[in-house]
Amino acid sequence: MKKTKKKNRRIVPKVLFGLALCASIFAGFWIARTQIVFSSVNQNKDNAFKEVKLPKGNYKSDNNIVNILVIGNDYRKETGYTAAGLPDVIMIATLDKKHKNLKLTSLLRDQIVEIPGHGQNRLNSCFGYGEDGPTLLYKTIAQNFNIKLDGYVEVGFDAVKAIVNAVGGVDIELTESEAAYLNATNYIRPAKYRNVKAGKHTLNGAQALGYSRIRKTAKGITPVTPNGKMDDYGRTWRQRNVINAIFNKAKGTSLPKLMDLAQTILSKYVTTDLSSQDIIGYMKDVVMMGTMEIYQLQIPMDNYFTTQRDYYAPGSTTNLGSVILPDMTANTAALNDFIFKYKGTEGQEYTYTSGSGTTTPAQ
């Protein structure tokens, strides 16, 4: 009996050592793999937000709240299509380590803002002045909404298709009008995928991209979301819906597959000013928080803007056409409160109450 106990005492440390060694090798492998994956990112070091000198102002920031500007540009590699226009998607992705949640804010591209050095124009026109587009967009958001951003990620349309296909499609609910619109237009390419139906089902990359681009009426069809949003308000809602659906699908994707996906996306479709260390750190923060729920906001908010046709900026003779005129006081207060103070209430949306210039989150 004594010999058996002595033998067990010798075996246990060896087993523990072996397990520790295996764990170390496994951890080392994934650290090395992660470094390789994120070393392939297309980094814009010359125009990093950290080096940008903002116009004088009182900009809100927090070391425990990371705000990344997400830009979706019309870059496609389809045969016969080479257009690269103004951004279709402008969002602020927020990693809120203070309140342990994720937030996503859509900034409507057609809202009129003051662009530093260029006067009033649409928000997405920051890419049309010959300057670095992301940098000028950053300065514009900072000056108009008093927010300091921590970096940016710019992707083309092909990235959306690649990501959605890699996670096995996304689960989206289509209304009758959305399905009819997608089947009657060229938003879904190639045409063989223009066979969607109303209801809940899984969209592939081409279908999800077409869905996220829905905006205007076509052939007498006015697309309306399940919650009644139309036009650009409906489009930004759909874009956030697709991102949320990707997050939900990614939960069940294996780590090796996610790594392969990240390497493909970063090397082919993404430009950013974030370093590989930044990206890895933010991913670790998301994992540590243990949540994939995304709280959402649209700026300008419903009921806090007006629309105007044939708009002329002060001192300009250029007709900007139909634009959105936001209530800057209310929308700036709401955006700052949502990003820096809102704790999140599961199953509820953020709401705003006017009057004192402050916001009231949903309870």
Same domain, 64 and 142: yes
| Overall average pLDDT of the 167-172 stretch | 94
Together in a domain, 290 and 151: yes
**How much is the pLDDT for 148?**
96
The predicted pLDDT at position 156 comes to 85
**251 in any annotated domain:** no
Q: Which among 225, 241, 257 is the end of a domain? A: 241
Residue 266 domain-assigned (yes or no): no
Pairing of strands 151-156, 42-43: unpaired
Omega into 326 within 30° of 0, i.e. cis?
A: no
Asked if the structure places residue 348 within a domain, the reply is no
d(CA 209, CA 212): 5
Give residue 143's pLDDT.
96
d(CA 112, CA 126): 11
- Rounded to an integer, the average pLDDT of 260-284 is 82
Q: What is the pLDDT averaged over residues 259-279?
A: 81
pLDDT digits (tens, 9 = 90+) for 37-54: 556 678 888 889 999 999
pLDDT at 13 over 70: no
Q: What is the pLDDT of residue 4?
A: 55
The pLDDT score that the predictor gives to residue 61 is 97
pLDDT attached to residue 302? 92
Question: Are 34 and 48 within one domain?
Answer: no
Number of domains within the chain = 3
The pLDDT score that the predictor gives to residue 242 is 94
- Reply yes or no on whether the pLDDT at 2 is more than 60: no
Whichever domain contains 304, its CATH number is 3.30.420.590
Distance CA 174, CA 189 (A): 18
| Residue 10 sits in the same domain as residue 141 | no
> Are 198 and 303 within one domain?
no
**Residue 8 above 70 pLDDT?**
no
Domain end among 241, 257, 290: 241
Confidence band of 80 (pLDDT split at 50, 70, 90)? very low
My answer on whether 48 and 33 are in the same domain is no
Query: What are the pLDDT digits (tens) for 202-241?
Result: 999 999 999 999 988 888 899 999 999 998 899 999 999 9
Helices (H) and strands (E) in the chain, counts: 9, 13
Q: Above pLDDT 70, what percent of the chain?
A: 83
Q: In terms of pLDDT, which residue wins out, 267 or 235?
A: 235
Residue 263 lies in a domain: no
Q: Is 351 inside a domain boundary?
A: no
* Lowest mean pLDDT, pick from 37-51, 189-203, 339-353: 37-51
96 and 112, same domain (yes or no): yes
Q: What is the CA radius of gyration of the chain?
A: 23
Asked if 128 and 198 sit in the same domain, the reply is no
Q: CA–CA separation, 237 vs 213, rounded Å?
A: 10
Instruction: Tell me: do 53 and 196 sit in the same domain.
Output: no
Angle between helices 157-166 and 205-213 (to 10 degrees): 130
Average pLDDT over residues 116-121: 96
Q: What is the chain's mean pLDDT, rounded?
A: 84
Residue 180: inside a domain:
yes
Clarify whether residues 49 and 153 are in a common domain. yes
In a domain, 95, yes or no: yes
Per-residue pLDDT band for 286 (boundaries 50, 70, 90) equals confident
Percent of the chain clearing pLDDT 90 (strictly above): 57
pTM of the complete model: 0.83
Q: Write down which residue in 201, 220, 241 finishes a domain.
A: 241
Can you give the residue range of the structural domain that contains 97?
A: 43-157+271-340
Residue 19 placed within a domain:
yes
The answer to whether residues 34 and 55 belong to one domain is: no
The predicted model gives 293-319 an average pLDDT of 94
Residue 355 vs residue 204, higher pLDDT: 204
Question: Residue 222's pLDDT is what?
Answer: 93
CATH number, domain containing residue 174: 3.40.630
Amino acid 357: pLDDT: 42
Helix 205-213 vs helix 176-184: angle between axes, to the nearest 10 degrees? 110
pLDDT of residue 301: 95
User: Is there a single domain that holds both residue 31 and residue 178?
Assistant: no
List helix spans (H) across the chain: 2-38, 133-145, 157-166, 176-184, 205-213, 231-250, 255-268, 276-289, 328-340
pLDDT greater than 70 at residue 145: yes
- φ, ψ dihedrals at 27, nearest 5°: -65, -45
